[in-house]
Each structure stands twice: as C-alpha cells, then as structure tokens.
Structure 1
Amino acid sequence: MGELVDINAPVEREGTKAVVRNWLRKIGESVKSGDPLVELETDKVTQEVPAPADGVLKEILMENGDNATPGAVLGRIGSRAAGVDLPASPVPAVTLETSSAPAQPPHYSPAVRRAADEYGIDPATVAGTGRDGRITRADMDRAFAAKTEHFEAAAEISAPEPQTPAPRTVSAEPGPALRSRRIPHSGMRTAIATHMLQSMTTAPHVTAVFEADFSAIMRHRDAHKAKLAAEGITLSYTAYIVSACVTAMRAVPEVNSRWHGDALEVFDDINIGVGTALGDKGLIVPVIHQAQHLSLAGIAAKLQDLTSRARSNTLNAADVRGGTFTISNHGVSGSLVAAPIIINQPQSAILGVGKLEKRVVVREVDGVDTIQIRPMAYVSLTIDHRALDGHQTNTWLNHFVQTLESWPQ
C-alpha cells in the first residue's frame, strides 16, 4: 500500500469553530494538488481546503457536521508519487457480490462514535443523510431526540394514578396536539450562537444612545453619488458612517481596543467590520482594514466589494480577520433601537445604527425655536465596561454625531 498523505484542517482560521460542511470529491476520485476537496464553515466564512498532493482520495475521516479543530486530519490521499495505481475502470458489481473477502465494518466519524457512546445508540440502526448515505452527528442527534420523546410518551402512559388525587370539579378535555417542525441548525448558526453567548458571559455590556441628523450627509451624497457611480462606485450612507467612526476613534482611541487581564491593548490601525446579513443563513462581518488611510470614495469602493462577495459567499479568511471595531446597521431591516448589540469579541465596542426616518425636531434659527422635519436616526455604542466608561462612550458618540451633522459640502 502506498504512502497516505493527510488532508489537514487549516491551523489558522477566523471564527470560533469550524464544521465540515461539504466534501467536493468522493472516495476513489482522482485529485491534483491544490484542487478544492472539502468546505469548512465557521461563523464568519466558508473556506475550501485544497488537496495537499496529487493522487486519489482514499479516506474521509470527518463527515458533514463534524467539528474540525485546527490541524485535524479530515481525510487522506493516496499519493501517485508513492506508487498508488488508479483503477482503469470501476470494479463490476458482480465481482463484489461473489467476492469471498470478509465484509469491512462501516466507518463512522469520530463525532458519530462519540454520539454512539453518549446516547447508547448503534449507528447501524440510524438512517444516514450524509453523502452516499453516511451517518452524520446530526443523524445521531435526531435519533436520540426521537428515542427520548418515545420514552417520555411511554412514561406518561404508564405512570400510575396518585393514590389521593386532588378533587376535580371540571372534566378537562385533552387539548389538540401541538403542530411544529424542527429545523436543524446550520454550522454557521451554531457557531454564531456560541460566539454570542461567549461575548455576553465575558463582557459586561453597557449601551448609550444618541440621535443623529443625516441632513448634511444626504446633501453631500446627492451632490456626489452620480460622479462616483460613473466610476462604478456606489456611495452608500454606510461609507459616511465608517468615515465618521474613524474621526471619533482619533478623539477617543481607547474605543479601538481589546481588553487583557493586565492591560488595555489600543490598536493603531482602525479595522472596521460591517455586519452583513445573509438572510436566514446568518450574519457575516467583512472588515475594512486600515480605514484611517482611506478616503470616503475608497471606503465606499471597499464596502461595495466586500458586501458583494459576502452575499455571493466568495469572501476569504483574510476578509473577515483582524477587526478592531464593528458596525451593526440594524436599521436597514426597520428597527429604531437595538440594545444591547452584542460585542464582537474580543473587541471593546460595537456601533448600532437605527432606521433613518423623517422626524419632527426643534431647531433654533436666529435665536428662535423652530419646528422642522429632519432625517434622523438613533445611534448607539455598546461597550465592554471593563475597558471603557460612560465618559469615553459619550465623548466618542458626540464626535461621531458631530462629524455626520457637520459634513462639509
């Protein structure tokens, strides 16, 4: 037997946990070095793992739904360089049926074997939904849930009546059975849940809310969007928000930081992540790196590229790595205020921007109060109270709002 080459999960990745999502080749298929073999999904990005050598896919050790730790062996390739000969044609089915060789026991992934030990369920009794009918961890979880529900129902039926039942004045009719359906969690949803829980249990969240008048940036955008559109750039309101964040960071650099047990690490580069919704699939946060060096047009172009690739699932690991601050533009889906917006750990703060809408406000003109209609939005800063205090939070928001409201024309 020739030498087998391990297919390893990347040691460096972005996200709290990687899950095997999809094998792109089947056992026995020929592969070349660099060919994509398997997709790993984290809460932030889907990453393809390439073949480490030419040869044939010999073993799949981790199935869809299995958790892949950094460096884990996902499968193995038989290297042609080590003398592996590929069959010229598939072995006829009749040969397999008449072969006297002993049948090989079915292979189960480590996650399935752990579930079998934990649940006391033989995987051979479970219907597989993985590739080629393989058993996945999700199949084992569903089998255990069904088993538990069966035992609970049996216990209710066989439970003895209490010897001294409470007096009944009304004969209760049994209610209709609840109708429902179970939607298995995707790897991204599970990873997001883990990350959000970890953030809430790690950092004490405190939120401050201000109100921002978008009149100035709306005038500026109306005057300049056509020129940028001719260059293929969409000038969005989010570009102004990112730029205003950079200005506020220069005034209060501690917001652009990370908490450590012995020190506060304040970053020189302002790497701003922008939460991008992927519909029912979840949320991803592509990062605008070194935003402090970009013009408004440069920010708009970068935003357009990242958002487009996020929604087409073509971001790479570098696009979601290294963020120092995050923006949640939750108002695009209609909410006015969301609090607290959960901090993207290990960052120290996250900005929330609510729905932009026309409101009646009072403005002083020549010493006289006037009632005006202005485009307004609530903006919030949620902080890790270990790293920041209320004074820093409010100072940052003051600079942020002032930048938006005094945007030069």
Structure 2
Amino acid sequence: MTSMVEITAPLEQEGTKAVVRNWLKQIGDRVREGDALVELETDKVTQEIPAPCDGILSEIAMSDGDDAAPGDILGRMSVEAKGVAPDAPAAPLQKQSASSAAVATHYSPAVRQAAVEYGIDPATLKGSGRDGRVTRADMDHALDAGKAHSSAPASPPATMGQPASSIQVDGKSRTVPHSAMRLAIARHMAHSLASAPQVTAVFEADFTAIMRHRDSHKDRMKAEGVNLSYTAYFVAASVAAMKLVPEVNSQWHDDSLEIFEDINIGVGIALGDKGLLVPVIRQAQELSLQDIAARLQDLTSRARSNTLKNDELKGGTFTISNHGVSGSLVASPIIINQPQSAILGVGKLEKRVVVREVDGVDTIQIRPMAYVSLTIDHRSLDGHQTNAWLTEFVRILETWR
C-alpha cells in the first residue's frame, strides 16, 4: 500500500514567488529523505528543494519556467507503508509525449490558471521554456501584448518624441526572456521611485589615507586569509558617519521615522548579466575593519557561487553600491533599496589633479580621487543631514590612521 506526499515550495522565501528551474530527479526515481529534487530560483537565490521523506517521485506538477508561490505543490511522492513492497508509480501526470497528436499537451497549473484568467489559449503561443513549453511568463507577455495592441490607435501618427508600443526596426532582433531576478529587480526599482521622492548629493573623496593604510596591512591580513578591500573601508566609514547622523539609518513610516540602533549594511554584488545581489553585513557597528573585510569576502564568494542563504539577504538598514568597479564616475540617482532611507554610491577611483594648501601656499598635486554620493528619501532626510553625513564619511576616509 502506498500513500502520496506533496512536495511544496517553501513558505519562507525571499520575495513572494519563485520560478522552477530544473528537476534533478525523474518520474519513477527512488529518493531518500533530504535528496535534492528540484531547483527553485527566487528573485535573489537559487535553492534546492529536498525530498520530504523516502519514496518514489511519482508526479511533477510544475515544469521548468513555472512560477511557484510559497506553499504551491511542485510534485508528489509515493511513499510505501512499512513492510509492503512499493507499487510501481502510476502513469505520471507530468508532461506527456508531444510527438503523439492523440495526447493532450501538458500545461502547468500556473499556465492553466492564466489561461482561465486571461482567456488565452496556450496552444497559440510559442513557449520559451525547456523543449518549447509554454510558461506563465509567456502567458503574461501575451496578455501584455494584447493590452498594448487593443489600446493602440488603428493608425498611430508618426509624431516625434511620442513613445511607440514597440520599436520598429528593419533588421533582425532576438528576444531574451527575463529571469526571475531581473523581473524582481525591475519591480523593486520601479516601486522605489514611485513611493519615495529621491535626491542625490555628490561629494569628492581623497583615497590617499586609506590606500596607505591598506598597503601597510593587506599582506598581514592576507596571511590570515582575509582580503582587505576598499569596500571594507566604505562600510567602516559609513558606520562612523551614522554615529553623527543616525537618521540616515532609518525607515519612513506614515506616522513616524524608525531609526535603527543596529547598522546592517547591504553591499551590492554584481552577477554579470544575471543581475545583482545585496547580502547584508549585520551589526556592522560591532565589527573591526578586519572583521568587516572577512565578512565581505565570505558573502561575495558565496553570492557568486549562488550559495547564499535567504536570511543573509534580509534585514538591511542601509546599502552601498560600489558602482565604480565597473567604470562609472557618477551614477545618479542610485535608487534606494526600499524601505531604507538612503544608499551610498562610490564611483571609479582615478588619479586627478587637485589643489592642496601646504604651509599656506596653494599647490597642485596628483591624488587618487573618487566621487561619493548619497541618495536619500526626502521624506526621511533633508539636505542638511545628507551633507553632514557625507562630510563625516569623507573626513573619516581622508584622515584614516
């Protein structure tokens, strides 16, 4: 005798949904409790869903590319009663052979639900999923395309400056489906700009002092397995500036400003075309420069190897975007990571000619300089606080001992 056990998407995950990316087992495979069954890609990380018990994978309910909300059923397992030989799995409810015209095409629950809600026959679409399967994203795109088509005038005027529903080109193009991470970033950025008035202030910082300090200590730290990066100094200087202007480490509420005692600093880590992650260094106010450098090294390594835990991406109260590593001098605005009140941007480090006073005489010198910016939620902060924070941040960097 056998019973069925559901395989479900985790109730606790970063964001409100995930996307099925890859089944690691096939229908009929015998698995042990804890064996990885399927990969889910959330807007932040990819995680493996383990088998809830010993048994046989008997059904795959969601295919590659399907959206999986917390608690959704991904598949089912056949579990044998003790002392009873397992039954062979029933005819799988997974995708059926597409080569036979007599067999109905399989669509995931998400696609079937969209078909009912949108009134769109998935058979009319070209799928972007594995083996050409239609995904929920394909259904969403078809709905959006239909809305754009129905709302466009029959003969749109060719008016310069008027946005068109799509770009018309004579040459070839290709369509690249958005990843779950890219869609999540897009929604998050649009929400941030829509919800908060954002203002950016830009200062200039001389990196001479921290470069000297780093040159004096990096070999010792390297011998201890720690890479001393410039970003570690940015985190430490941010902590020092928060002591002077604690309101920067805050969140706006309609009836109050919540100022956090713990300084949990998220650091943006680019993942190439995939997007970016923002792991959080918690209670940075309690850490030394070497501790910060070690945390950064660990988080960066695991972000790029896709082994971060969801909890390591949550709870940030302030964010640093070191956009200069990719070559930009200034980026404005660097959109706030909602619901935080501010985000620091650090531009490209380069040698510049500057004027410095020596013994009362102006001198022309070549110094390592970078632009640093603070984008603020103008509901939470004003220009006075913004400039005071940046002044202290720059002072700490330029007088580092």
Taking structure 1 as the reference length, the TM-score comes to: 0.84
Q: In 2 relative to 1, CA 176–49 (structure 1 residues): closer, same or farther, beyond 3 Å? A: closer
The one-letter code matched in structure 1 to 2:18 is A
Q: In 2 relative to 1, CA 176–320 (structure 1 residues): closer, same or farther, beyond 3 Å? A: closer
For the 8 Å contact 2:4–2:76, the answer to whether it is kept is yes
The one-letter code matched in structure 1 to 2:113 is R
The one-letter code matched in structure 2 to 1:360 is V
1:46 is displaced (CA, Å) by: 1.7
1:10 corresponds to? 10
Q: In 2 relative to 1, CA 344–81 (structure 1 residues): closer, same or farther, beyond 3 Å? A: farther
- Whether 1:233 and 2:226 are equivalent positions in the alignment is yes
1:188 corresponds to? 181
1:55 is displaced (CA, Å) by: 1.3
* Structure-2 separation of matches of 1:104 and 1:337: 58
Q: In 2 relative to 1, CA 300–382 (structure 1 residues): closer, same or farther, beyond 3 Å? A: same
Q: 1:210-259 CA distances to partner (integer Å, 9 max, x unpaired)?
A: 11110000010111111111111111111111110111111111111112
1:45 is displaced (CA, Å) by: 1.7
For the 8 Å contact 1:78–1:84, the answer to whether it is kept is no
For the 8 Å contact 2:268–2:276, the answer to whether it is kept is yes
The one-letter code matched in structure 2 to 1:26 is Q
The one-letter code matched in structure 2 to 1:77 is M
1:332 corresponds to? 325
* Structure-2 separation of matches of 1:150 and 1:340: 33
* Structure-1 separation of matches of 2:85 and 2:322: 55
1:170 corresponds to? none
For the 8 Å contact 1:16–1:191, the answer to whether it is kept is no
2:380 corresponds to? 387
Q: Secondary structure at the match of 2:227?
A: coil
Of 241, 244, 254, the residue aligned with 2:247 is 254
Q: Secondary structure at the match of 1:181?
A: coil
1:68 corresponds to? 68
* Structure-2 separation of matches of 1:307 and 1:77: 37
For the 8 Å contact 1:55–1:84, the answer to whether it is kept is no
2:51 corresponds to? 51
Q: 1:239-288 CA distances to partner (integer Å, 9 max, x unpaired)?
A: 11111011111111111111222222221211111100101111111111
Q: In 2 relative to 1, CA 300–35 (structure 1 residues): closer, same or farther, beyond 3 Å? A: same
For the 8 Å contact 2:65–2:129, the answer to whether it is kept is no
* Structure-2 separation of matches of 1:14 and 1:122: 32
1:146 is displaced (CA, Å) by: 9.6
1:22 is displaced (CA, Å) by: 2.1
Q: In 2 relative to 1, CA 176–130 (structure 1 residues): closer, same or farther, beyond 3 Å? A: closer
1:169 corresponds to? none
For the 8 Å contact 1:21–1:187, the answer to whether it is kept is no
* Structure-2 separation of matches of 1:177 and 1:121: 29
- Whether 1:399 and 2:398 are equivalent positions in the alignment is no
Q: 1:338-390 CA distances to partner (integer Å, 9 max, x unpaired)?
A: 01101111111100000001111111111111111111100001111111111
For the 8 Å contact 2:20–2:41, the answer to whether it is kept is yes
- List gaps (5 residues or longer) in structure 2: 156-167
Residue identity over aligned pairs, in percent, reads: 70
Q: Secondary structure at the match of 2:67?
A: coil
* Structure-1 separation of matches of 2:138 and 2:247: 47
Q: In 2 relative to 1, CA 82–348 (structure 1 residues): closer, same or farther, beyond 3 Å? A: farther
* Structure-2 separation of matches of 1:148 and 1:196: 23
Task: Give the stretch that moved more between structures: 19-28 or 353-362.
Answer: 19-28
* Structure-2 separation of matches of 1:249 and 1:108: 52
1:337 is displaced (CA, Å) by: 0.5
* Structure-2 separation of matches of 1:50 and 1:220: 47
The one-letter code matched in structure 1 to 2:330 is V
- Whether 1:205 and 2:204 are equivalent positions in the alignment is no
2:171 corresponds to? 178
Q: In 2 relative to 1, CA 89–343 (structure 1 residues): closer, same or farther, beyond 3 Å? A: closer
Of 214, 218, 232, the residue aligned with 2:207 is 214
The one-letter code matched in structure 2 to 1:328 is S
1:63 is displaced (CA, Å) by: 2.5
The one-letter code matched in structure 1 to 2:27 is I
1:144 is displaced (CA, Å) by: 7.5
Task: Give the stretch that moved more between structures: 384-393 or 32-41.
Answer: 32-41
2:355 corresponds to? 362
Q: In 2 relative to 1, CA 85–105 (structure 1 residues): closer, same or farther, beyond 3 Å? A: farther
The one-letter code matched in structure 1 to 2:23 is W
1:162 corresponds to? none
- Whether 1:298 and 2:297 are equivalent positions in the alignment is no
The one-letter code matched in structure 2 to 1:79 is V
* Structure-1 separation of matches of 2:84 and 2:68: 27
Matches within 5 A, 1:274-289: 274-289=267-282
* Structure-2 separation of matches of 1:15 and 1:146: 26
* Structure-2 separation of matches of 1:264 and 1:145: 38
Q: 1:44-76 CA distances to partner (integer Å, 9 max, x unpaired)?
A: 222222222221222222322222222222222
Q: In 2 relative to 1, CA 23–229 (structure 1 residues): closer, same or farther, beyond 3 Å? A: same
2:38 corresponds to? 38
1:145 is displaced (CA, Å) by: 9.0
Q: 1:120-170 CA distances to partner (integer Å, 9 max, x unpaired)?
A: 54434656564566442345567779999999xxx99xxxxxxxxxxxxxx
* Structure-2 separation of matches of 1:84 and 1:148: 56
* Structure-1 separation of matches of 2:371 and 2:149: 50
For the 8 Å contact 1:17–1:191, the answer to whether it is kept is no
- Whether 1:315 and 2:308 are equivalent positions in the alignment is yes
For the 8 Å contact 2:58–2:89, the answer to whether it is kept is no
The one-letter code matched in structure 1 to 2:185 is I
Q: In 2 relative to 1, CA 210–16 (structure 1 residues): closer, same or farther, beyond 3 Å? A: farther
- List gaps (5 residues or longer) in structure 1: 98-102, 157-174
Cα RMSD for the two superposed structures: 3.1
1:172 corresponds to? none
